[in-house]
A and B are shown apart, each in its own frame.
Chain A
Amino acid sequence: MRFLRAISILLTLAVIAAVGFLLIGWRSEIPPDNRAANAQYPPDLVAKGAQLAAVGNCIACHTEPGQEAFAGGLPVPTPFGTLYSTNITPDPETGIGRWSEAAFVRAMREGVDREGNHLYPAFPYDHFTWVTDEDNKALYAFLMTREPVKATAPANDLVFPLQFRPLLVGWNLLFLREGGMQPDTSQSEEWNRGRYLAEGLGHCGACHTPRNAFGAEDRNHHFGGGEAEGWQAYAINASSHSPVPWTVDSIAFYLRNGWHELHGVSRGPMAEVTGNLGLLPDSDIRAIATYVASVMGEPSPERKEKGERLTRSFGNGGANITTAALDENKASADLSGHPGAAIYGAACATCHESGRPQPYGGLNFSLSTAVNAPNPQNIVNVVMFGLPPGDGQPSAVMPAFGNTLNDQQVADLLGYLRARFSDQPAWTGLTDLVAKTRSGEYPVTVLASDGIERAPKNVGAKE
């Protein structure tokens, strides 16, 4: 009897909790607005929206490779299964053609669609919640003036019970901080603008911050490094691993151009970011750079000194070329017996020690963040898949070595690079990692380093 009573109390509580839970989380449908797609939007507003959409990089997630812009359908693998991005063209039936501005703002602020369904935070509304009304208005005008496309994304493929969207209410309770950005008055206007862009639409943390078991960003390690589409998004805080410390100038140049002579080229999803930022005015690029540089903070004296040494050697278009004989790091003679040494000398050095100016000559590995990073995935990706050529645009091109080198040879080569060009401890489990990358078990998105165009299809791993 008591047992039954306990159960019924628990059940009641559970039901109340669930009902209360759902009541908190429940969102109504916003009525469809049939004029939305056909309304007139001022060209200035649309142009502003285009710039903002470039910061948000909407096109990258909401476009399937080789398919029409913003029509959705891109598979986004997560630890919880695969999600498919939605069609955000102004198509009335399959896109957002019937969304009012209010519906759009709600989606950006709260992660809820027009009909009241919760959206998965793969759509980074936890960042977009910072976007001001004014900017949302411009974004809305931009999206509503895109080409409508009839396309429905495949159904999401998530582990049970995550198909049940109301569970996201709990996620939001724990991790969504609504409300706009509070400006930091101790910082400059430029810094605040940069913060607004980087943390809001730019959603840099969505890749560059590690995530917890719930898939939410770990705020204790803000900008401490994360991963996206099979690539490591490096730490861009004080634990940055780049041999030459980043500065406002170098970050701004890199964001603007997609490469920097002391850091290399942007690859993978970052190539799309830098490619899209081409639309932004210099002032905004500089603002983002100012903010990110401040998060990185001042480098330690040793890092600073090393950075200066490397800049003297390699700055100014590689005025002083390092060959295998004269070496910045460990004397290559010490490592000449390393199994990777011969591979490096024969396959890599001709480009990577050529002194050819960036971004077209291979980066000298003394400057490579990839070699210094704790997780070697990026350098594995680049060695295996190369950097495919851009479509009719000048862009860094690197051949793929995945078919030339077997797993052991790749591991040997990377072991050599690590030993020679960094002070960090050796990577472990390289052959395993290479094998998983090669087989596709660890999926990697491969993009040309001019970023924007994914035609015809991603290279990726072989099945």
Chain B
Amino acid sequence: MTITLNVNGQNHQVDAEPDTPLLYVLRDDLELNAAKYGCGLGQCGACTIMIDGRAALSCVTPLLVAEGREITTVEGLGTIENPGPIQQAFIEKQSAQCGYCIAGMMMSAAALLKHNPKPSDDDIRSALRTNLCRCGTHMRIMAAIKRASELMEQAAVPAATNRSAG
């Protein structure tokens, strides 16, 4: 089945079975690396993306419900030459150890900051309830999200710009 997917502001024609989880379409068909396979069960958040500006788990999102929706991945937050505020914050705070969970963390953060630009610690913990980090980078992740909030306020730039990033 060929369907049109809107990812990071660009339309893509994708040829895959409608029951394919969006995660595999993003990674294998569109070669977007950020969203990761962590469990496939919706328990760990490594696959988190945004659908219509809200955090969603791409490993349990079938392709067929993604048509006509706005999908945002980490690649839509900025590029390595031009990182967005969330990415800048994570680099500044060196918020990663193995880094595998970080893309999911950033998307949960993006969804949070979109609707709550100045979240409290409790707000952050609640928004990231689904995201697991085994390396124990939690403190830095929270620090990065608070820093991202500051950066966004300074620049008055929204969290996700939907710039097409490949």
Interface residues of A (CB under 8 A from B): 66, 342-343, 345-347, 350-351, 386, 388-389, 397-406, 409, 456-457, 459, 462
Contact = CB atoms under 8 A, between A and B. Distances in A.
A347 B61 contact: yes
Nearest to B125: A456
A287 to B, nearest CB: 37
Nearest to A386: B42
A456 B19 contact: no
Contacts of A343: 62, 64-65
Contacts of A389: 43, 129-130
A347 B125 contact: no
Contacts of A456: 122, 125-126, 129
A346 B19 contact: yes
Contact of B122 (A66, A404, A405): A66
B55 interface: yes
Contact of B43 (A66, A399, A459): A399
B62 A347 contact: yes
8 contacts: A346-B18, A389-B43, A398-B42, A399-B41, A399-B60, A403-B52, A404-B57, A457-B122
Interface string B46-80: 00000110111100111111000100000000000
Nearest to B54: A403
A346 B56 CA distance: 15
A403 B125 contact: no
A345 B125 contact: no
A404 B65 contact: yes
Contacts of A66: 122
Interface residues of B, number: 27
Given A342-B62, A346-B18, A404-B60, A351 B51 contact: no
B21 interface: yes
The 9 closest A-B pairs by CB, nearest first: A399-B42, A346-B62, A346-B19, A403-B54, A403-B56, A404-B56, A404-B61, A456-B125, A397-B43
Nearest to B132: A389
Contacts of B51: 403-404
A405 B60 contact: no
A398 B41 CA distance: 8
Nearest to A401: B60
B41 A345 contact: no
A346 B64 contact: yes
A405 B20 CA distance: 15
Nearest to A405: B65
B64 A342 contact: yes
Interface in B90-147: 115, 122, 125-126, 129-130
A405 B22 CA distance: 13
Contacts of A462: 54, 115
Nearest to A391: B129
B132 to A, nearest CB: 9
A114 B78 CA distance: 62
Contacts of B18: 342, 346
A346 B21 contact: yes
B62 A399 contact: no
A414 B63 CA distance: 19
Given A347-B62, A462-B115, 17 more contacts: A66-B122, A342-B62, A342-B64, A343-B62, A347-B61, A350-B41, A386-B42, A388-B129, A397-B41, A399-B43, A399-B57, A401-B60, A403-B51, A403-B55, A404-B56, A456-B126, A462-B54
A351 B62 contact: no
A360 B61 CA distance: 20
Nearest to B130: A399
A131 to B, nearest CB: 37
Interface string B9-53: 000000000111100000000000000000011110000000110
A175 to B, nearest CB: 39
Contacts of B64: 342-343, 346
Contacts of B42: 386, 397-399
Nearest to A388: B129
A194 B130 CA distance: 39
A66 B122 CA distance: 10
A342 B60 CA distance: 13
A401 B115 CA distance: 18
Contacts of B63: 346
B97 to A, nearest CB: 21
Nearest to A348: B60
A397 B57 CA distance: 14
Contacts of B41: 350-351, 397, 399
B126 A409 contact: no
A401 to B, nearest CB: 7
Contacts of A405: 65
A402 B126 CA distance: 16
Most buried by A among B20, B42, B57: B42
A401 B40 CA distance: 14
